Structure 1
Amino acid sequence: MPAPAGAVGDGLRIASAPAALLLVEAEHGSNGAEHALQRSEARLQAAVELVGLSPYGWDPATGALEWDARLKAMWGLPADAHVDQAVWLSAIHPEDRPRVEAAVTRCCDPAGDGVYKIDYRVIGIEDGVERWVSTHGRTQFENGRPIRFVGVALDITERKRDEAVSRARAERFRQFAEHSANVLWLANLKSRRLTYLSPAVRHVWGVPPERLTSIEDWLDTIHPDDRDSVERAVERVGSGDVVVLEYRILRPSDGIVRRIRDTFFPIRGEEGGIRHVGGIAADVTGRTGTRIYVVDRDAESRQKLLALLHPAGYEVQLFESPAALAEVAESLQPGCVILDLEAAEPDGLTVARALKVGRLALPVLVVGRSHGDVGFGVRAMKAGAVDYLEKPWQPSALLTAVSAALAELRTDNERSQARDDAKQRIGALSAREREVLEGLLAGGTNKSIGRALGLSPRTVEIHRAHVMETLGVRTLPEAVLMAAKAGVQPTDAL
């Protein structure tokens, strides 16, 4: 039986509707009552046909089943096929049969409510097709014994397939999100809640996903100078736009500035309205290979540099004065600044000093004419320039100087990222594991560290293994290097 499926007694009429199974029991007392009952059954039968339900019955005493043609088709049988309990059980998927039999036992227990409600799979007896069946019914009892059962069944194969596809998509998304270096996020515009943050936020933002629960929490991490533009981007997405925006964050964990390129996009509901927004946030802090900022008051000279740098594969942004660059320097991506100056230009090296003091990832290459002032190049280097070229410069020399400046910038960024990663991993250690690490840095053994901390050598060994695993290293020298990057000092207790 699809749920227990069985016979209908003489005094019983059944009818089913989408919301529930209706059981009507009437005494055959008058023609009027019988006629009203027939009209009621006709209306309910129309509802059954509309939804695709199959009423059925089962006699618990004899095991007799009463199925319609549609229910037999779910079992892969023709309309005139004989059905009994053995036939019903034979088609139930082997993995689901224990659940079904347990549900039948429960619904026949007088101590229970007699309700039978279950979804399970059927393998067609003659066609071999796997189908999903949903069934709901109730047992009637008399003197503590089950005497009849009526129920309805529905083929839900298509719905289950859709659910399986949705689960597969969700699983693929989960795997992608968990392994992506980018931060994937979703937010509800009405509640202002962040409904999803991928695990990468722990590395990029330096905090666990549960630390950022609302749009306001997220906005608080954004550099104050960039916050307005991000808020406007969210508003635009709420109106249906897709926005790509670069902004800076101040990591809550350590205050380190990271540059983010975020793609904001609207998520429309079935009704077409936009209630949610999503984003893909990439950390672009270390992408320093192609950006050049040319600062030159002479338009012809700017175009000459542009004609040289563009074919070499660089992205070039032009500025007419050092002041114009200084005004937006904090919002620029890392790259090399080519600063064209004359020795006699007042305060010409001010911008180079400012970039050095601000520790911005913008190394300055100064090009200019010294007009016989042999100390001009020296002053440029002292002001923070990484190199100086006398005009007229040779194209090959300028390209070499630019390449060297960017290579050094990449190296600095890699060191910075390694230091940030080391700090993050060290920060994940427990207080006791940190003490063990400090003991190892001091050259301690399991025994000496255990004596200093009041632990057994075996306990120290366990902590040591956890330290190595958390740091992602295999050898003690690797752990020492990582601790040095993070600024961890050896203990003085040994």
Structure 2
Amino acid sequence: MSEQQSAAPDQYIHIVDDDEALRDSLVWLLESSGHRVRAYESAEAFLADFNLAMTGCLVLDVRMPGMSGLELFEELRRRHCSLPVIFITGHGDVPMAVSAVKKGAVDFIEKPFSERDMLDLIAECLAAEQASRGRRQLEAETVRRLTQLTQREREVLDLIIAGKLNKQIADVLGISIKTVEVHRARVMEKMEANSLAELVQNVLAADAGHGR
């Protein structure tokens, strides 16, 4: 997959680096590879522009005057930022970058780095961010669909999730198997599930995501 193919139309690579020469060279490399880029000379400048609707990924220098890259990373985690983060690091900063990866950063790349290595890492981050965003959207949509179920339909759904058969559901709820089948069909329709496996997977994922 090429870099151009890996980026969705609304994804941006956000570069935060106080080194103007490196910043400019990264902008040129990424834009010439078909990416949309936004560059910032400091962590403070990025924070002033930051919002949770940002998509894409963040390329962040570990050491900068004022707020460091690691401090910015910690602040973004506090703000529940979901952007994948790649750290740019000098040799002496590798231990700090490794620590950041353990705390949730995607990876780090050591200067001097090759253009190919950077592009490959960017492509991985963009693909991961797009997939993660898709999962969050599906979870939110599943939660919305759950609110459309009647109390009885939700009871039937909970028993389906628990692995109960129609006869067992009928016994638990004190209704006929035929009535269970009607409720089950309505649950499938309202949840827009094409199969029982899809229904169970979506509901379990939504419950897990909602509890984060």
Q: Where on the TM-score scale, by shorter chain, does this alignment land: which range?
A: 0.7 to 0.9
User: 1:333 matched to which residue of 2?
Assistant: 54
2:24 matched residue in structure 1 = 303
Percent identical pairs in the alignment equals 34
Distance 1:374 1:483 in 2: 41
- In the TM superposition, residue 289 of structure 1 has moved relative to its aligned partner by 5.7
Q: For 2:15, what is the secondary structure of its paired residue?
A: strand
1:361-380 correspondence runs (5 A): 361-371=82-92, 374-380=94-100
Residue 154 of structure 2, aligned match among 430, 434, 447? 434
Matched, 1:423 2:143: yes
TM-score under structure 1 normalisation?
Answer: 0.38
- SS at the partner of 2:50? helix
TM-score when normalising by structure 2: 0.85
Shift in Å, 1:332: 5.5
Partner of 2:193: 473
> In 2 relative to 1, CA 447–314 (structure 1 residues): closer, same or farther, beyond 3 Å?
same
Q: Is 1:354 matched with 2:75?
A: yes
Aligned equivalent of 1:386: 106
Whose radius of gyration is greater, 1 or 2?
1
Q: Which amino acid aligns with 1:329?
A: F
Match of 1:409 in 2: 129
How far is the alpha carbon of 1:293 from its aligned partner?
1.0
Which residue identity lines up with residue 451 of structure 1 in the other structure? D
CA 1:288–1:354: 2 relative to 1, 3 Å: farther
- Opposite residue 24 of structure 2, the aligned amino acid is Q
User: What's the counterpart of residue 203 of structure 2?
Assistant: 483
Residues 153-232 of structure 1 mapped to structure 2, 5 A cutoff: none
What is the deviation of 1:370? 2.8
Decide whether the 8 Å contact of 1:295 with 1:339 is kept in 2.
Answer: yes
Q: Secondary structure at the match of 1:316?
A: strand
- Structure 1 residue 381 displacement after superposition: 1.6
Higher helix share: 2
Matches within 5 A, 1:312-327: 312-327=33-48
Q: Go from structure 1 to structure 2 and tell me whether the alpha carbon gap of 1:288 and 1:334 turns closer, same or farther (over 3 Å shift).
A: farther
Shift of the 304–330 alpha-carbon distance from structure 1 to 2, 3 Å rule, reads same
Deviations 1:264-297 (A, max 9, x none): xxxxxxxxxxxxxxxxxxxxxxx57640111111
Cα distance in 1, alignment partners of residues 99 and 106 from structure 2? 12
Gaps of 5+ in 1: 1-286, 489-494
Instruction: Classify the secondary structure of the residue corresponding to 1:338.
Output: strand
Q: Deviations over 1:379-437 (max 9, x none)?
A: 23235321101101110001111111111101111111111121122221111001011
Root mean square deviation, CA, Å: 2.3
Q: Distance in 1 between matches of 2:119 and 2:35?
A: 10
1:455 to 175, 197, 201: 175
- Per-residue CA deviations over 1:166-214 (Å, capped at 9, x if unaligned) read xxxxxxxxxxxxxxxxxxxxxxxxxxxxxxxxxxxxxxxxxxxxxxxxx
Which one-letter code corresponds to 2:49 in the other structure?
V
State the alpha-carbon separation in 2 of the partners of residues 419 and 442 from structure 1.
19
Provide the C-alpha distance between the structure 2 equivalents of 1:474 and 1:302, rounded to a whole number of angstroms.
Answer: 48
1:290, 1:335 within 8 Å by CA — same for their partners in 2?
Answer: yes
One-letter identity of the residue aligned with 1:406? L
Partner Cα distance (2:13, 2:54) in 1 = 10
Could you tell me which runs of 5 or more consecutive residues in structure 2 were left unpaired when the two chains were aligned: 1-7
Q: Which has the higher strand share?
A: 1
Deviation at 1:333, TM superposition (A): 2.2
Question: Quick one: which amino acid aligns to residue 417 of structure 1?
Answer: Q
Aligned residues: 201
